[in-house]
Structure formats: structure tokens, C-alpha cells
Amino acid sequence: MKPQLILLGAPGTGKGTQAKRIVDEFGYSHISTGDLLRGEIAKGSDLGKKVKSIIDKGDLVNDQVVLELLNANCSISDSAYIFDGFPRNIEQSELLEEHVLKGAASKAIYFDIDLDILVERISNRRIAPKSGEIYNLLSRPPKVEGKCDISGEDLIHRKDDTAETVRNRLEVFKNTIAPILDYYEGRGVLVRIDASTSAEEVFAKVGEAINS
Ligand code: AP5
Ligand code: MG
């Protein structure tokens, strides 16, 4: 049985980009709490209305709310999952273990990077909401400007990718990551990967981590 994968890293480190490749190459299911929350906002659900202003500011949504959303969208007895964007604090690490993984074998991959380069990566990101493709005007531009290569849909700039919100998201990350890394290091399941290289090079290291 493949280990459940927990992707850790600051906003813009490439968690979503790598998750897509892991799904294609290794047959994992991908669950991104950010995508699920943005989906609720797009649907205009009560939950979406409740979390919209929090996400627009770049703060964290309540732990229990996110845990419920996560649990409603995954069943680890059926599949090996990539958890992208959860956990975001030590409490969520414990909730993930206790309520979702329940002792299942797991590996935590930390995308390590100098935070200064992330603002540029994020400001050049464009996403295709339906196909889930992630582009970058510098490192992965679409073939036709403003359109997804796969679906042809219009690309969008995420609402929380403004300079002010990104600064807050990076602050939140800096204030929460250390105990999460200690938690997985203590369990002997943490792998650190240099995320400053190309997406291909990062993916090669991710593959080694999955197979090790
Ligand atoms: P979420 O959606 O999880 O956002 P995030 O963690 O801030 O991460 P991003 O999606 O911004 O970055 P990424 O690492 O996926 O990078 P990507 O692959 O796109 O969360 C959003 C919000 O939802 C939170 O702020 C919070 O409010 C809420 N939320 C979510 N989960 C929560 C939880 N558990 N608890 C509470 N609240 C929660 O890549 C970025 C760009 O870089 C792209 O343009 C890409 O093409 C490019 N790129 C990728 N890799 C490379 C590379 N190697 N070289 C060059 N460019 C690259
Ligand atoms: Mg993402």
C-alpha cells in the first residue's frame, strides 16, 4: 500500500503543481483544502459565504470546519491521498492523524524554499478553475494567452493572490510551520525537498521520496 502523502510548504511553493503530477504518475487521489474552500465560495454555499472574507484576507479558516470538509471528501480506506494545504497548524496535524489517517502509513514532504521568491511566483500564477491546470506567466505560460491549453477556458488570477494578501499568507505560514515540521520529524516521516529548482527537478525528488 502506498503511503498517504502530506504536502507541506508555503503559499506558491508548488504543492498544487506537484500534486497534479503525482496523480498522473503514481495514481494518487488529490485533496486540496484550498480548492475545496474555493469550490464552496464559487457555489455560493453557506460555508462558502462564511469563509470568503477569511480567505480573501489570507487568514486560516476554523480547524473543525476544514476537517469536516476534508472528511466529507476523502475516504482513505479506498485510496492513497495527497493532502495539499492540510495541516496548516499543529492542531490540524493532530486532527489529521486522529480523525483521518488513524495510523495509516504516511509521508510528509516539505517543499523548502526562500520565501522571497514566492511573491513573484504567485503574482505570475494563472489557474484554470474547471480543469485545475496551474500556469505561470514566466515558468509555464499557456500556449494561447489567457486560455487553458487543456479546456480552452479563461484563466483567472486567484482573489487571494494580491500582494497584500500574499504577504499575510506568508506571515501566517512563518508563524505556524515550525511545530508542524517538528511533529513529522519526530514521527520519522518527514522528507525535505529543495523547491527552488524547476518543477521537473522537484518532481524527480518527489518520486524518490515516494519510492524510498
Ligand atoms: P491554498 O489553496 O492551500 O493555498 P496555499 O497554501 O497558499 O498554496 P498555493 O495554492 O498558493 O500554492 P501552491 O503551493 O499550491 O503552489 P502552485 O503549485 O499553485 O489555501 C488558500 C487559502 O484557503 C488559505 O490562505 C486559507 O485561507 C484557506 N485554507 C486552505 N486550507 C486550509 C486549512 N487547512 N486550514 C485553514 N484554512 C485553509 O504554484 C504556484 C505558482 O508557481 C504557479 O504559477 C506555478 O506554475 C509556479 N511553480 C510551481 N512550481 C514551480 C517551480 N518549481 N518553478 C517555477 N515555478 C513554479
Ligand atoms: Mg495550491
Domain with residue 205: its CATH number is 3.40.50.300
What pLDDT score does 21 carry?
96
Asked if residue 41 is part of any domain, the answer here is no
What pLDDT score does 78 carry?
80
Number of domains present in the structure of the chain: 1
Asked if residue 37 is part of any domain, the answer here is no
pLDDT tens digit sequence for 57-93:
999 999 999 999 999 999 888 889 999 999 999 999 9
**First-residue to last-residue Cα distance in the chain:** 13
* Residue 5 DSSP SS3: strand
Residue 110 — pLDDT band, cuts 50, 70, 90? Answer: very high
Q: Which residues line ligand 1 (CB under 6 A)?
A: 9, 11-17, 32-34, 37, 54-55, 58-61, 66, 85-86, 88, 92, 121-122, 124-125, 134-136, 139-140, 160, 169, 198-199, 202
Place of cell 493532502: 83
**For the chain, how long is the longest CA-to-CA vector?**
47
Asked if residue 148 is part of any domain, the answer here is yes
Hey, CA dihedral for 179, 120, 12, 168, is it positive or negative?
Answer: positive
Residue 167 — pLDDT band, cuts 50, 70, 90? Answer: very high
**What does the pLDDT average to over 141-158?**
97
Nearest CA to ligand 1 atom 20: 34
For residue 161, pLDDT over 90 is answered with yes
Asked if residue 74 is part of any domain, the answer here is no
Asked if residue 71 is part of any domain, the answer here is no
For residue 98, pLDDT over 80 is answered with yes
For residue 1, pLDDT over 90 is answered with no
Nearest CA to ligand 1 atom 18: 14
pLDDT tens digit sequence for 173-192:
999 999 999 999 999 999 99
Question: What is the per-residue DSSP string for 116-144?
Answer: GGHHHHHHTEEE-TTT--EEETTTB--SS
Closest CA to 82 of 38, 37, 142, 19: 19
Closest CA to 127 of 7, 5, 17, 31: 17
Task: Using only the alpha carbons of the chain, give its radius of gyration.
Answer: 16
pLDDT tens digit sequence for 36-62:
999 999 999 999 999 999 999 999 999
What pLDDT score does 59 carry?
98
Asked if residue 149 is part of any domain, the answer here is yes
Asked if residue 34 is part of any domain, the answer here is no
Asked if residue 39 is part of any domain, the answer here is no
Compute the distance from residue 62 Cα to the ligand 2 centre, in Å: 18
CB 22 within 8 A of CB 210: yes
Domain that holds residue 179: 4-28+80-211
